[in-house]
Amino acid sequence: MIRDYYDETRSPFAELGRHFFLSLFHPESTSGEDSFTTWLAQILAVLITASWFLPVQLFRRYSDLHGLDGPEPYRLAYASDCLSALVLMCLLVGVLTVLEWPALFPSRRDQLVLTPLPLQRTELFGAKLAALLVFVTLFIAAITLCCSVSLPAIASGRWEPRSVWLRMFAWFFASTCACYFVFLSLLAWQGLLMMLLPVRWFEPASFTVQMTLLVALLSGFPLFFYFPASHLIASRSPLLEWLPPAWYWGVSEWMLGSRDPAIGTLASHAGLAFAIALVTAATSYLVSYLQYNRYALEFTRPARKPHIRWSAILARFFHAPQAQGVAEFITCSIARGRQQQMVFLLIFGLGLALIFESSVYVGLRLGQRGFERHSVTVQSAVLALPLTLSFFAMVGLRRAFRVALDLPANWLFRFAESESSRRSQMDAVFRAFVLMGGMPMLLLGLPVEWLAFGVRGLWAFPLQFLLMLTLAEHLLTDWRSIPFTFASDPARRHLIHSAILHFAELSIYSFASSAWILAALYTTKALLWFVAVTGTILAILRYRRLRTWGREPLEFIEIIPPAVEPLQLV
């Protein structure tokens, strides 16, 4: 009955708002229709399962702190926990906003599809903004509410004189403001790009910013564990004034009655920054509202001949025209496919994050003992660097290959498929995979290896290349498709299942093998063993792959003929 009433009374504004709200669960930047919600559900399931662990640990910690003789350790711990939690919340909101980046403003598609309908411009923009705010508010509420209740409650004890309710409120207010600040700042950033750049420049510039932010934010997660919150607070570091989460920690402390001038400065920074972000975001929304027709009307000039055609360069590595065609297609698609680049960078960004984290770990460890270029730790890390990068590049590339591009257009490949050309086409896939994924990363590592090992470092390259080929064979063992011509089911394997498998692969490929390569650089016996074992595995995997490649037909998604589709028989 309520639903009937709702259906009867739904206004165009509410209908639009609902449409925009639901579309936020399927961002254009992620692959597949349900992949985003599937991933979100899988990540949430893991977080909920693991969430019992943190309160138990915090409770034990604060019990110990309240058992100490003085209040100072407790105060420092509580303050640093609050600051660390704020940093984490800001990172989470940042990642979500970046993933929703193309949906922050009414898109070109919205403009073109909705303009002919009898809708007022205010309805379109109002509904978009309302849907966005509801979505973000729900997310922010989900992460701040739980933390606002649990952290002040768990931390209560004999050294905490302030009311738990006041602490809960202050923390909730400050963390909510911090999260909105991150969201509004990113919204303002995109708004500024939109206001200042011509339409034809906006899209690539916006995408570049989105990708950079995504990689930076992903790198922030592993570095979070090294965040020296207690050190910054205890030393009253001036760096706090440059750290946005610290500003909002200042707001929380100020609300709890602290009148320390440093806290006052942080709180005033927070207020000013929030106001600037809010005004800029609102102004950019207003400007985009006023320039509504700019997207639809701006003239696009025909493109000129590109100076360098990377696809043509890659095609030179192949002899058969069919293989050249596949290589060119892969290069064009990965260079221009936004979803494909997004998927690749999401995975490659994890690799970069891991490298940052390892660098910080190694740096801190060596900082205590003194840096020595020829130490085993440094040399192993140097050898692991290109291997780790190539691992994430190849895994990312393989995942990106599975993201379909213009799926119905795959009729071209289906039409051209033949037993005689299949093998060369699949070889092109393998070579493109190696040349675009693993090879550049190994080459990137060469200068670092030269610095760490001298001339001996060059010998690491063929060993790493052998290893990289083995990984490529392993990753493409069951591959029987032209990339981007089919779509994989994102729910086929659970995210955590994949993560565990890849972690095992990475441990063998990068961590264990770098130690082995290090030994192989200095002893002939280790070198011979390495070549023999890796070569044998490579030969077996290659034999397995080539046994089926070219014989079995390629896999394509079968498009159901439009005339039959309404029958819903297949």
Which residues here bind other proteins, judged by CB under 8 A? 300, 302-306, 311, 320-322, 324-326, 328-329, 332-333, 336-337, 405-406, 408-409, 411-421, 561-564, 566-567, 569-570
Of 303 and 455, CB closest to other proteins: 303
Alpha-carbon Rg for the chain in angstroms: 27
What tokens does 553 get? 């037909």
Contacts of residues 112-117 at CB distance under 8 Å and 24 or more positions apart, as own/partner, are 112/295, 112/296, 114/16, 115/293, 115/296
**Least distance between other proteins and beta carbon 193 (Å):** 21
Q: Which is nearer to other proteins, 87 or 342 (CB)?
A: 342
Residue pair 391/506 in contact (Cβ under 8 Å)? The answer is: yes
Nearer to other proteins by C-beta: 415 or 503?
Answer: 415
Report the distance separating Cα 357 and Cα 350, nearest Å: 10
Of the pair 125, 401, the CB lying nearest other proteins is at 401
Phi-psi region of 236 (alpha: psi -120 to 50; beta: other; left: phi over 0): left
Give the number of other CB atoms < 10 A from CB of residue 565.
Answer: 11
Nearest approach in angstroms of CB 7 to other proteins is 20
Least separation in angstroms between CB 14 and other proteins: 24
Which CB atom, from 161 or from 408, has the smaller least distance to other proteins? 408
Q: How far is the CB of 481 from other proteins (least distance, A)?
A: 15
Which of 308, 339, 300 lies closest to 484, judged by CA? 339
Structure tokens given for 127 = 């509904």
Nearer to other proteins, 326 or 475 (CB): 326
SS3 55: helix
Q: What's the DSSP call for residue 320?
A: S
Give the whole-angstrom CA distance, residue 507 versus residue 391.
10
Length of the chain: 570
Measured from the CB atom, is 338 or 474 closer to other proteins?
Answer: 338
Instruction: Name the residue among 278, 170, 228, 273 with its Cα closest to residue 265.
Output: 273
Q: Which is nearer to other proteins, 354 or 405 (CB)?
A: 405
The smaller minimum CB distance to other proteins, of residues 220 and 325, is found at 325
Q: How far is the CB of 489 from other proteins (least distance, A)?
A: 22
Closest distance to other proteins from the beta carbon of 561 (Å): 6
Residue 167 · residue 85 · CB < 8 Å: no
Shortest Å, Cβ 553 to other proteins: 11
353 neighbors 217 (Cβ within 8 angstroms): no
Tell me the C-alpha distance between 424 and 48, whole Å. 48
Residue nearer to other proteins on the CB measure, 40 or 332:
332
Let me know how many helices (H) and strands (E) the chain has, helices first: 24, 0
- The answer to whether residues 175 and 92 touch, using CB atoms and an 8 Å cutoff, is no
What are the tokens at 220?
A: 């922030």
Q: Please say which residue, 206 or 514, places its beta carbon nearer to other proteins.
A: 206
What gap in Å lies between CA 452 and CA 379, rounded to an integer?
A: 7
Q: Is 82 exposed, middle or buried (0-12, 13-18, 19+ CB in 10 A)?
A: buried
* CB 190, min distance to other proteins, A: 22
Q: Which of 399, 404, 357 is nearest to 502 (CA)?
A: 399
Q: Least separation, in Å, of the C-beta of 326 and other proteins? A: 8
| Residue 324: CB minimum distance to other proteins, A | 5
CB closer to other proteins, 304 vs 374: 304
User: What are the tokens at 542?
Assistant: 């290659």
The encoded tokens of residue 276 equal 């600037």
**Rounded distance, CA 551 to CA 123, Å?**
57
Q: Which is nearer to other proteins, 135 or 344 (CB)?
A: 344
Provide, rounded to whole angstroms, the least separation between the CB of residue 559 and other proteins: 9
Minimum distance from CB of 100 to other proteins (Å)? 23
Compute φ and ψ for 271, nearest 5 degrees.
-60, -45
| DSSP symbols for 321-333 | HHHHHHHHHHHHH
Q: Cβ 333 to other proteins, closest distance in Å?
A: 6
